[in-house]
Amino acid sequence: MIFTAVSIFVAAFVLSFGATLVLRKIAPRLGLVDRPASRKLHSHPMPLGGGIAIFLGVTIVVAAGAIALPAIDGRVEWLPEVVKQNIDLMSDKLPTLLAVMGGSVVIMLMGLCDDIRGLPPWARLAVEVAVAAGLFVLSPELRLTVFTPWTLTSFIYTVLWITAITNAFNLLDNMDGLSSGVACVAGLIFLIVAAQTGQLFVAALLLALIGATLGFLVFNFPPASIFMGDAGALFIGYMISVLTVVFTFYGPSPEKSPLLSMLLPVVILAVPLFDTLSVVVIRIRSGRPVFLADKNHFSHRLTALGMSPKQAVLTIYLVTFCTGIGAAFWHRVSTVGSLLIFTQAAAIIGLIIILEITAAKKQIEAED
């Protein structure tokens, strides 16, 4: 089992690493360049295209697995016993996998168009909603149903969740290595939960996503030599959002309510959700358009406190780990334990908010 997991991870990492090397050289000739602007931190043009590398690393590995799975069924004795026992189950999920990867192609291409030409926010949002709606229609496994027995309400929950998380990682992509690194930390915690609960289909996809993202992060960690652009940030956010929908966070045990179990992805994704909500609130309170980029993100507020960009990124990695790591024990604790884990994550975010407000007040007083 370990050999299979390592193989998926290494293959995705190597493919993404190699593709990033190539794209870093040819991106300017393809028009994939991010130029400096008033709301951006870099001072010289940077190649884009890292998102294509991440996409290729995930897609090629997933496609190879999907093709190989029916071919090896019952024919390869050296496979781990747990894999042989679950081949039929994973084969049954191939239609769901096809829907997920089909949607990822649309999301990545839309992001690529935005990187090259720029798209209005409403157009991006319309495509994201359409993809989320399509997934809901195509597969019962791609629906959030635990909150409600009604199809319409389930549809609304599913579309809102996929769209929100997809955009959360795109909004988080405002500093070198930030969105991709947070995705790796959150993905690792999701992977631990998937391994504990025997969800091999989700675990395999997470391994591919983490491996491909790390292959790119080698070149994107501060100081970055290439950006992933909207193509990469939207693709990563989409994959994580969809995998949390496919994920089974609750079981048949009556000891925990399904609603409580659904707090687990909120705990793991607390940082992207906090960044998105705080930025939206700041923009609304200041009367600015919600979709207009600015420097009011969590990372920017940390640099305003005196941190370097690298320190801010590493701090957010640590906060993501601290808020999310308790989720690794979610299935091993009682209802009270789960509530304590959720409370701990909320308290960490609350502490950050208090520190930011205090620092902002001191800054205003100093300027006066």
CB 135 within 8 A of CB 103: yes
| pLDDT tens-digit map of 70-123 | 665 555 555 555 555 556 566 677 888 999 999 999 999 999 999 988 899 999
Q: Where are the domains of the chain?
A: 2-367
361-364-367 Cα angle (round to 5): 150
Give the mean model confidence (pLDDT) for residues 240-245.
Answer: 94
Tell me the β-bridge partners of 181. Answer: none
Question: Residue 245 corresponds to which tokens in the numbers above?
Answer: 């929908």
Average of per-residue pLDDT values in the chain: 86
Handedness of CA 316, 317, 322, 324 (dihedral sign): positive
Helix H, strand E, coil C: the string for 14-39 is: HHHHHHHHHHHHHHHHHCCEECCCCC
| pLDDT tens-digit map of 298-308 | 898 888 888 89
Q: Residue 171 corresponds to which amino acid?
A: L
Q: Give dist(CA 215, CA 28) in Å, integer.
A: 21
User: For 33-47, 97-111, 181-195, which range has the lowest pLDDT when averaged over its residues?
Assistant: 33-47
> What local confidence, expressed as pLDDT, does residue 88 receive?
59
CA diameter of the chain: 76
> What local confidence, expressed as pLDDT, does residue 248 receive?
72
